[in-house]
Structure 1
């Protein structure tokens, strides 16, 4: 796994879960700005990954990952399963396949972030 991408995905999952689900914000920066009347509130945890990076990660996960990779990323970072075997079972794959897909997703996210930065 790529450490920076792992940190970015953890931050993304935190931001995604931090918004009020009753409002249907789901980690969307624009929706957060609307709800806060234009005041951008940065995350409270100290991290190199800013809120706008979380929005990029959301877009990449939704639009640029293969369905199998997306499923593994969501299960790993946002899923309710607590143990690794539960995560593998939720994705319907073996341990090796789960981590292979997660590694591929990390590389795909890194590539998209590099493309967007260029």
Structure 2
């Protein structure tokens, strides 16, 4: 797995779970809306993370549009599910080795898309 992609996906999972807990998704919120909500203080990172908050929107788009269904499923199970590890790969219908192989492929695909978008 790729360290900074893992960190970005963890942040994405937290934001996604927060959005579901609030009854909707806050993935599409703008910087202006963030400034208004925080009374002018732009908090670009959370919990000491090096991952920018607005990067979660980009990650969400990549996960939903550029990953295969199997890769998307393991990413959602790994970062959005609070279930124990064994139940995660069982929910995906694959072995532990296959689960982590797909997760590694998803990390590389996300990294590739982020590099393309940065260029």
TM over 0.5: yes
Residue 35 of structure 1 and its aligned partner are, at CA, apart by 8.4
Q: 1:45 to 1:35 in 2, by over 3 A?
A: closer
Mapping of residues 74-113 of structure 1, within 5 Å: 74-82=76-84, 84-113=85-114
Q: C-alpha root-mean-square deviation of aligned residues, in Å? A: 2.3
Kept in 1, the 8 Å contact 2:45–2:51? The answer is no
Gaps of 5+ in 2: none
The answer on whether the counterparts of 1:81 and 1:87 sit within 8 Å (CA) in structure 2 is yes
Rounded Cα–Cα distance in structure 2 between residues aligned with 1:66 and 1:90: 17
Alignment correspondent of 1:30: 29
Count of residue pairs brought into register by the alignment:
116
Give structure 1 stretches of 5+ with no counterpart: none
TM-score under structure 2 length normalisation:
0.84
TM-score, length of structure 1 as denominator length:
0.85
